Amino acid sequence: MKDVLKSRMTVLAQIILLSATGSAFADSKATASATQTLEYASVSELAERMERNELTSVILVEYLQARIDTLDKQGPMINAIIELNPHAIDIATALDQERQDGNVRGPLHGIPVLLKDNIDTADPMQTSAGSLAMVGQPAANDAFVVKQLRDAGAIILGKTNMSEWAYTRELGLPHGWSGRGGQGKNPHVLSGEICGSSSGSAAGVAAGFAPLAIGTETNGSITCPASANGVVGVKPTLGLFSRSGIVPITRLQDTPGTLTRTVRDAALMFNALQGVDAMDAATSDAPMGVDYTTLLATDALKGKRIGYPTEYVGTNGSVLRPGFEFLMALATLEEQGATLVPLKVQLPDIDGYFNTLMAGMKHELPEYLASRSGLPIQTLQQLIDFNELNPGAEGYGQQMLKNINELDMTHAQATELFGTLNASFKAAIDEQLAEHNLDALFADADGYSQFSAAVAGYPGITVPSGMNSDELPTSVFFFGARWSEPQLLALAYSYEQASLERQNPAFKEQ
């Protein structure tokens, strides 16, 4: 590790020298001490430094690129980044000029963002869902959420590794592995669980490769990697953010979401990402023009009623035995003035659930592929044939893709069945909130609550809650009713500020 740090500092010194010469930044206040903390700075901290002429977007991008080279491609080799944007420096230069000219687009102006490798960008980068079969001509258009980020002044720094095809290639494959990106690692403990499918987005933010990242979730693909890597992950209400230009499993449940190191940074991203997209009808009902930072306050938990599960009915092991970190989190909520309400939770039946998702993918993936040109595949069968000839160095299988291809469920049948399941999970959450007069629900990273929020299409926020005995992060999960993101962000912020449990990674080998 000493060699890694020495190498990193050498690169850092080179960046400072290169960036401070021959540019408009030559007479600024940038120093080594100011730059050394950039990797874990929040968006607000970075923006303040830029406002004070202590930092430019160019220096920030160069610093993060060097850090990625040192820690992602060498040293511990986190494998969070699948591709860097060759235009990033040019974009940063233009945004620095805009700032000099007095044109600041907002809080994300000049801030680097990482994107999961299933989100279209109209630039030289691939959009491959981690699959070698999708490497070819880049997408012709930006995804709607990418356009929103660019309009807000964010810099697309690169694409992140992910569980290939959002973990639908083959059940049992290691989380965070893709044929194109290889095996991703957890930056806290390199052999630890990284989870997926937004593995690289979570690990990249945790490792200090960028302050912000976009992931996507069908069920658990944001909340699980956020928990495993010790960052803040927010899965919004289905329809709050557009899905157009994103490689689908199914729009019945897919959504993009945010991965950040702080709750406030997530709220700032929500401000930029919201918007009605004519290409995604689900966004037509979403609230618009919301400032998701308005309710953020350290006393937001005071007087709130928070329900938490003590038992799940309908599971093999229904009685929960909360770990130390969750008990401490409950104590923090009480200390902040919240009233805790223990709940016995009845889980709805999920018969046929996974087939509805897989049937959705069978019918929707070809529609997405038809929007792309210059790729080796255009159909699910062609994808399977490609993998047979090009299985990858690890030789992993693709039985799940084959099963999806063989499903005889129509999209209409899948939509009808999912509608029934979706309604039952919505009702289960809504009834708990109403019966106990709750402001939100709160859980450990037990999987059940995250699953319920995902099937309901309801929002949820994963927040770091400490470290376990294996030196890996633990987390808690706030969730609630449709469109309750402003309130949930406020509660999560209040907990985050009181607990201060997020830790920077140690890049430890075990």
Query: Active-site positions?
Result: 116, 197, 221
- Written as six digits, the tokens of 492 are 């999560």
- Written as six digits, the tokens of 89 are 């420096």
- CA distance readout (Å), 227 to 222, 335, 367: 9, 23, 32
| CA proximity to 55, closest of 112, 114, 115, 113 | 112
| CA proximity to 177, closest of 157, 188, 193, 189 | 193
d(CA 56, CA 18): 13
Contact 236, 280 (CB under 8 A): no
DSSP string, 433-445: HHHTT-SEEEEES
Q: With 0-12 CB in 10 A as exposed, 13-18 as middle and 19+ as buried, what is 342?
A: exposed
Question: At CA 260, angle to CA 8 and CA 464, rounded to 5?
Answer: 100
- CA distance readout (Å), 465 to 62, 225, 302, 504: 32, 14, 19, 13
Query: Strands (DSSP E) along 314-412, which ranges?
Result: 339-346
The residues with which 461 forms a beta bridge, in sequence order, are 234, 478
Contact 259, 214 (CB under 8 A): yes
d(CA 296, CA 272): 17
d(CA 168, CA 249): 8
- CA distance readout (Å), 446 to 260, 318, 450: 21, 11, 8
| CA proximity to 249, closest of 213, 219, 223 | 219
Contact 81, 159 (CB under 8 A): yes
Contacts 24+ apart (CB under 8 A), 450-454: 450/219, 450/220, 450/223, 450/224, 450/477, 450/479, 451/219, 451/220, 452/347, 452/425, 452/428, 452/479, 453/235, 453/429, 453/477, 453/479, 454/217, 454/218, 454/219, 454/220, 454/223, 454/235, 454/253
Q: Which residue has the tokens 């199914």?
A: 250
> How many CB atoms lie under 10 A from the CB of residue 204?
33
Contact 224, 186 (CB under 8 A): no
Q: Phi/psi class of residue 396: alpha, beta or left (left: φ > 0; alpha: ψ in -120 to 50)?
A: beta
